[in-house]
Amino acid sequence: MESSTLAHRITRSMPWMFLPGLFGGATRRQAASRTGEVRWSSKAGDSIDSSPTVDNSVVYVGSHDHRLYAVDATTGDEYWNYATRGRVDSSPAVADGVVYVGSHDHTLYALSAQAGEKLWSYTTGGSIISSPTVADGAVFVGSNDHNLYAFNLTSLTPEAKR
């Protein structure tokens, strides 16, 4: 995991970083202080390769157990989890109360950040292991079908497939 990925997640009100797993293949979600002290640890059903995303004091992270987890950033308590039909290596993106994440089941999911309910999904021709990003009124994601998708967040349809 790149240090730049974690660095922007550390704030004065939340002075620790989130580690999806130490030494690869770990199945714990952990929060560690700047000194390395583990603040909390929470078990997932399988390995975690996804980098965590933090929004409004909630940590979102995917797992090889086909689930996306939402946990409290302070305590590690689980709020909800959402089951996909494939591993979730993609790191989630959060914007305007919606969590976007890809899965090895070829699908991009848009979930309610608060409740974890599916708002919409789109199935591509290949696994989605790239991490979606939200910008300019669209969510962008790459697929193993050799395409980059751009979804208009107003119409929820693909604008372009290249």
Give residue-wise pLDDT tens across range 111-144. Answer: 999 999 999 999 999 999 999 999 999 999 999 9
Dihedrals φ, ψ of 2, to 5°? -75, 140
CA atoms in the 13 A half-sphere facing the CB of 51: 17
Between 4 and 29, residue with greater pLDDT: 29
Per-residue pLDDT, 33 = 63
Lowest mean pLDDT among 3-12, 44-53, 140-149: 3-12
Return the closest-CA partner of residue 106 out of 120, 85, 92: 85
Secondary-structure breakdown of the chain: helix, strand, coil percentages, each rounded to the nearest 5: 5, 45, 50
Per-residue pLDDT, 161 = 61
Q: Residue 85: count other Cβ atoms within 10 Å of its Cβ.
A: 11
Instruction: Note if the pTM is more than 0.75.
Output: yes
Q: What gap in Å lies between CA 21 and CA 26, rounded to an integer?
A: 5
Q: What gap in Å lies between CA 48 and CA 65, rounded to an integer?
A: 9
> In the numeric block, which tokens belong to residue 6?
């974690």
| Superfamily covering domain 3-161 | YVTN repeat-like/Quinoprotein amine dehydrogenase (2.130.10.10)
24 has a pLDDT exceeding 90: no
> In the numeric block, which tokens belong to residue 3?
């240090």
Between 80 and 8, residue with greater pLDDT: 80
Cα separation values, 32 from 25, 50, 137, Å: 18, 17, 34
DSSP annotation of 3 reads: H
Q: What is the CA radius of gyration of the chain?
A: 15
101 has a pLDDT exceeding 90: yes
71 has a pLDDT exceeding 90: yes
Task: Give the strands of the sheet with 118-123, arranged side by side.
Answer: 93-95, 98-102, 107-112, 118-123
6 has a pLDDT exceeding 70: no
